[in-house]
Structure 1
Amino acid sequence: MARRAIIFHGTGAHPGVAWYPWLAARLTARGYTVEVPSYPAVNVEPIAGFLPKVLQAHTFDEQTVLVGHSGGAALLLALLEHVTVDQAILVAGYCTPPNDSDEPVLQPAYDWDAIRRNVRDVCFINSRLDPYGCDEHQGRAMFERLGGTQIVRDDGHFGDYNQVYDEFPLVDKLIS
């Protein structure tokens, strides 16, 4: 059975930007079945209505690797309350509002115990220089609740409209 990876883009993004196509190609070459779905409603539609659509659209199992960037990383927290996976990598993720913007992807609270039970390995990659507040403090808040690995860089938002980030070798290396 082939291992599966699902890469969730961030708010206002799409599957063809930043490092998503590069990572998908790397994982495909390694034998993964890779999905990079387009979700224009991520962080637009309230999570209570959006989450069931995402759960229904994908298959998740103990061999699945989830990668989420920004709003897509916040989405992973809600997903992980309901599905069991091997690994989750949250890039520029957050669990509380990182700035003054509306964040409909966030839940009012999380079942941290369920999330911890449902993922074998979790990694948080955040930047001290994140312009949106998805910074090392957000990563630390999730790490303190879930354990795993926290990596702190000085690397902006790891891809943005004004930050070219076509490759992300660190994420590729972290995926077992």
Structure 2
Amino acid sequence: MSEPQPQPHPLDAVAWPKRTERLVLRRAGEHDIDALWQHRGRDDVGEWLGWHPVDRADWEASMPARLPDTLVFELDGRIIGDVLVSVGSAWSQREVRDRAVGVQAELGWTMHPDFEGRGYASEAVREVIRVCFEELGLHRIQAGAFTPNEPSQKLMRRVGMRLESSSLRDALHRDHGWVDGVMYGLLAEEWRRQRDGRAPRATILHGFTASPEDHWFPWLAERLEAAGFEVRVPALPDAQDPDADAWQAAASDAIGEIRDGDAVIGHSLGALAAVRVLAERARRAEGGAVDPADRLGSLVLVSGFAGPVEPIPELDRFAAAGVDLAGVPAVVRSIAVLRSDDDAIVPAADTDALAAALGVPVEVVPGGGHFLGREGWTKLPAALWPVLRTS
């Protein structure tokens, strides 16, 4: 029987180090234990921490297990503080528990008192928050504190977090007894509004002969608006006799400038229009790195295809040009491809080929047909969850 393989840590997916105006942030290692002790071992630093070492031996015995979640920040090569990033799951109902795994993080931080008052901790925490939302794709972050720890609360407010709850004598302090507590939080949507000055956008692209009012599009638009998105569902031109260039232009206009909180959902021919827009943007970016903030947050392709489809010869002219999918993953953070096991319009092999070219698995919805309104599909949660996972 094979041994279970260790799971990668969420922070392993990030390219370190990160550089801000004055600091360098990187993963902590065992070689940092002595340097971290220089401030972590101080009583004034440990006053309001949930865990503080009793002595140096306790520190050296306990700290190695905490290193995977720890980032250090350096000033001119010296470690002056650290940030804890503990990625975990959100509470959820049983049916969607798998979709709540690893979607949020709890943050904590310390800094050497000799460097207080110059904004270093705020600078480090802002960068960690950026990484959490732009690169890890988290939905939410939070941080708690004893209520008397006003400096920590001020930092939370400075970096854009808001007070979510306060509790009466719910936390037992080693010296002060029962103490009040506070919890601050920040959603990805809120952070992106602060960064971009606008709400995240979701664009829904319908398919051949369809319109924005058909199938599950109105339901999805309503659910996305409730989640804080600005939703666009354009009527693509001449849906009964579509022209590839006209659809790509209209889809591109609707999608607009891409930011990492945005989403595009395409159904059938709308999926082909979506990937053509993104392929063109990837082509323009060729040779240059795409900033994480300039990637599309989520792309959801429902009953999609990337070339001619045998049951729909009317679309041969539209689909004949195909699409170069190679660059699309570089401009999208998360891609989901959905199909059913009984689609009479787009063969499963065509959707599977699209997913394979994009390097993602296919999610199969049993008995879904082509996900049409006349088949009973007036809502489609499977198209909503991938967007909410990265928003």
TM-score, length-scaled by structure 1 = 0.88
User: Which position in structure 2 is the counterpart of 1:128?
Assistant: 341
Matched, 1:76 2:274: yes
Deviates more, 1:71-80 or 1:108-117: 108-117
Is the 8 Å Cα contact of residues 127 and 135 (structure 1) preserved in structure 2? no
Overall identity of the aligned pairs, in %: 26
Q: Report the aligned-residue RMSD.
A: 1.9
How far is 1:107 from its partner?
5.0
Is the 8 Å Cα contact of residues 266 and 300 (structure 2) preserved in structure 1? yes
User: Which position in structure 1 is the counterpart of 2:379?
Assistant: 167
Is the 8 Å Cα contact of residues 127 and 155 (structure 1) preserved in structure 2? yes
Q: What are the equivalent positions in structure 2 for 1:8-27 lying under 5 Å apart?
A: 8-27=205-224
Q: What CA deviation, in whole Å up to 9, does each residue of 1:41-99 have, x standing for no partner?
A: 24733313432243234413132200011111121121111344221111011112222
**Amino acid corresponding to residue 377 of structure 2 in structure 1:** Y
Work out the CA distance in 2 between the residues paired with 1:43 and 1:117: 33
**Amino acid corresponding to residue 258 of structure 2 in structure 1:** D
Q: What are the equivalent positions in structure 2 for 1:3-82 lying under 5 Å apart?
A: 3-42=200-239, 44-62=241-259, 63-82=261-280
Equivalent residue for 2:357, pick from 114, 121, 145: 145
**Higher relative contact order, chain-length normalized (CA < 8 Å, sep 6+):** 1
User: Which position in structure 2 is the counterpart of 1:109?
Assistant: 322
Q: What CA deviation, in whole Å up to 9, does each residue of 1:117-170 have, x standing for no partner?
A: 2212111111221111x232122101211112311223101114x312111111
Is the 8 Å Cα contact of residues 211 and 239 (structure 2) preserved in structure 1? no
3-state SS in 2 of match to 1:80: helix
Q: 1:100 to 1:23 in 2, by over 3 A?
A: closer
Work out the CA distance in 1 between the residues paired with 2:240 and 2:253: 18
Is the 8 Å Cα contact of residues 136 and 152 (structure 1) preserved in structure 2? no
3-state SS in 2 of match to 1:172: helix
Higher helix proportion, which one?
2
3-state SS in 1 of match to 2:314: coil
**Amino acid corresponding to residue 265 of structure 2 in structure 1:** V
TM-score, length-scaled by structure 2 = 0.42
Work out the CA distance in 1 between the residues paired with 2:362 and 2:263: 17
Deviates more, 1:85-94 or 1:111-120: 111-120
Deviates more, 1:11-20 or 1:37-46: 37-46
Higher strand proportion, which one?
2
Structure exhibiting the larger radius of gyration computed from Cα positions: 2
Work out the CA distance in 1 between the residues paired with 2:299 and 2:318: 17
Work out the CA distance in 1 between the residues paired with 2:334 and 2:360: 6
